[in-house]
Structure 1
Amino acid sequence: MPATNLQDVSMAVVDIFAGDVDGAEVVVEVYGKRVAVSVFSGASPGQHTVEDHLIKLLNLAATVDDDTEYDAAIGNILDILEAAGGSVFRQEPPTSAERLASPDNLHSVLYPETPNFQLKTVNGIPNILPISPIDAYADLGHPDCDVDVDFDINDTLPQYSSKNVLVQDVLVRGGSVVSQVLVDEQPVMLCKAGETGLFDHRVRRELEALRKVDGARASFASEIRVPKLLGYVKHAELGTVIGLLREWIPSGLEPPLDQLDSTEKSQTIDCLHEIGVVWGDGKINNVVIDRDDNAWLIDFGGGWTKDWVDRDLAGTVVGDKQAIQSIARYLRVDGDT
């Protein structure tokens, strides 16, 4: 996220509802707590208000493809919100002791209480004012995950309620959440889950990839260094699949970069392509080095990251091969520094 004017506060935009010139809404998260801010146009023709400027920025952020433009729009959005009502967003981060004493369950992380506010200019001064949910621009009720997408789960794997999955650490936030979790008395696992369940293409794509890999492991002489699928997470109330649990790969002390061999990554990629699985977002950040210096490929949710794969090759076999070459070049360059 771009820097904002708030001092020592971690703010992130987690959702935007836009698409017209008359109104929009943005959901902002501060240390795990969310606030929804609606904005409506009330300007007369020819007038330029803070409300209209914010609506324009939200529409831009909701549709722009360029990362630089998106980051700039988000930074401006957060600056406007902070200037209008910084006190609404000033929250104390939980201490490490508080997080350990009372870890959040996954359900509360995915579906947190979200109070509604409105940005409104009063006497020439923009303010953030509390409003009723019925007066908000968007309906933040139950997400659209109450119907299972056409997807066959592996019945031999366990299924857990989202309220029984305890979150130790959130690693990635957004439409889907990636976190380090505990379930019952089992070892630490990694969880990827989405508010909209399998309607989230990143969650579904990862599930499909891990299931294919697990079904094909016995067919290969060499080990496929991709984490194992360990179970499913179901919505605590609706009972539909909203995420996955997979093996946690403990990261070891990183060896000198020039000693990392890309051969084993290439072998794993070849095995994946043979069974019809594409890595998709190949980059050095999606390679984990374990305590035995083995390289594991992670994150099969798809996507594209500049400088690792040409954009038009993202999500293809050719793109994966290009990613391996880019990683090899990165390792050689950094190994010489």
Structure 2
Amino acid sequence: MSIHYIESVSSGCGDRVTLSIRWNNARIEVDLDPSPTGNTIQDSFIEKYNAAVEDGDDEEEEMMSDQILDAIVQAGRTSFDRLAPPPAPDASTPADLHSLIFPKEYSFFFRTNVETNAAELIPKDNEDTTMHEEFDLKYQLPANSEAVLPKFSTRDIHVVEKLLGDGYIARVLAGCREMCCKVGDELRADALQRELSCLLTISTSQHAAALRVPKLLGLVEAADDGRTIGLLQEYIPCSDTWELSTLRNIESVSSIAKARREKWASQIQQTVQLLHQIGVTWGDGKAANVLVHRDTDDVWIIDFRSGWTDGWVSQELSGTMEGDSVAVKKIFEFLEV
């Protein structure tokens, strides 16, 4: 069974919509361009997707992305499986990080066959496929020269599970230890650099042991040229079923004992207060950035890449202590304590 999911969706450049799809251990880039007639399958997808983006309708945008993905998979599954076969059922060794973040790439155009009115995929340049050996990450995270952290090659890090979130975030094995790995890209380099700086400050502070923030454990180096492209953190085990992996997953707050919710709220408040004492701000504070430890039932704060989320922290207050205070207050309201 092939594993596939959307890595990114982009639009623009003459209304073109492009999907980047992970297909097993390869990356499939598919371009949807407007047709001369304006009444094809891709024209409908482009119009609806761009309308959702312009309206700021995240749910509609996600729904259209999924519909486009379904049409691409239906038209290209056979070709994709030939180019990037699914892993063997008895494969016991997890794929190394290098092969997953620097995969082979294949590029196609999504077209509507005028005779059959069915979707089809056309390899670019009229070749069997356009293949690139590596996806070029053109950035490097400048690490603090005073910090002494172990460095792990992308070829020595093995991915156990891809985790949800922007960029490449995964549960991995590095140095025989389970960790959380975060690798950025050109668009997210500044955000990941901020997170690295925050975690370095936390790790060398007087509150390092007391802060419920996943500890910084190492750096990720590209195997080919030694550039620092990511970081490794303590992995916080959460619910295997995602029912309570983060506070945002709570379906009914009232179904959780008030004493338990009060404990979580107090822990979040204490953690943010300690962060402020060492000059670190949370940034994008929200329920989705609070993990619930599966074994201890304590809550841990994650994601110091800044940013902001409607309904939690405004763009103007993102990355400020005032913004963090607003986020904590809203989490208290969310938990009804």
TM-score by length of 2: 0.76
TM-align CA RMSD: 3.7
- Does structure 1 residue 19 correspond to structure 2 residue 6? no
In the alignment, structure 1 segments of 5+ residues that lack a partner are 1-7
Aligned positions of 1:71-220 closer than 5 A: 71-82=62-73, 84-85=75-76, 87-88=78-79, 98=91, 101-122=92-113, 123-132=115-124, 143=135, 145-148=137-140, 151-152=143-144, 154-172=146-164, 174=166, 176-185=167-176, 187-196=177-186, 200-216=189-205, 218=206, 220=207
Moved more, 293-302 or 141-150: 141-150
Q: 2:5 is matched by which residue type in structure 1?
A: A
Q: Which residue of 2 aligns with 1:265?
A: 268
1:28 aligns to what? 21
Q: Deviations over 1:52-94 (max 9, x none)?
A: 3344456567776442342233134234435544555679976
Aligned amino acid, residue 189 of structure 2: D
* Matches for 1:312-323 after TM superposition, within 5 Å: 312-323=316-327
The alpha-carbon distance between structure 1 residues 154 and 221, as it changes in their structure 2 partners (threshold 3 A), is closer
8 Å contact kept, 2:104–2:134: no
More deviation, 152-161/204-213 = 152-161
Structure 1 distance, partners of 2:163, 2:284, is 17
Offset, 1:106: 1.0
Aligned counterparts of 2:170 and 2:98: Cα–Cα separation in 1: 12
CA separation of 1:279/1:26 partners in 2, compared to 1, >3 Å: closer, same or farther? same
CA contact 1:36–1:117 (8 Å) conserved in 2:
yes
* Structure 1 length-normalised TM: 0.76
Q: Distance in 2 between matches of 1:208 and 1:221?
A: 14
Amino acid in the other structure paired with 1:162 = T
Q: Is the 8 A contact 2:9 2:65 kept in 1?
A: no
**Would the aligned equivalents of 1:252 and 1:292 in 2 still touch at CA under 8 Å?**
no
- Counterparts of 2:208 and 2:132, CA distance in 1: 49
Q: Does the aligned pair in 2 maintain the 1:281–1:314 contact within 8 Å?
A: yes
Native 8 Å contact 1:159 1:233 kept in 2 = yes
For 2:315 and 2:15, locate their aligned partners in 1 and report how far apart those are by CA, in whole Å. Answer: 34
2:39 partner letter: H
- Give 1:280-291 correspondences, 5 Å limit: 280-290=283-293, 291=295
Equivalent runs, 1:237-252 vs 2, <5 Å: 237-251=224-238
Conserved 8 A contact 1:214-1:229: yes
Q: 1:170·1:178 contact (CA, 8 Å) conserved in 2?
A: yes
Query: Distance between the aligned counterparts of 2:328 and 2:89, measured in 1?
Result: 37
CA contact 1:252–1:293 (8 Å) conserved in 2:
no
For residues 209 and 134 of structure 1, the distance between their equivalents in structure 2, rounded to whole angstroms, comes to 48
Q: Which of 321, 324, 331 is residue 327 of structure 1 equivalent to? A: 331
Counterpart-to-counterpart distance in 2, 1:133 and 1:202: 36
CA contact (8 A) 2:106 2:132 kept: no
Match of residue 217 from structure 2: 230
Give the counterpart letter for 1:274 in structure 2. Q
AA of the residue aligned to 1:207: L
With over 3 angstroms needed to count, the CA separation of the structure-2 counterparts of 1:142 and 1:55, relative to structure 1, is: farther
> Deviation of residue 150 (structure 1)?
5.2
Q: Note the C-alpha offset of 1:269.
A: 0.6
Gaps of 5+ in 2: 245-255
Structure 1 pair 116/144, CA: closer, same or farther in 2 (3 Å)? closer
Deviates more, 1:73-82 or 1:242-251: 73-82
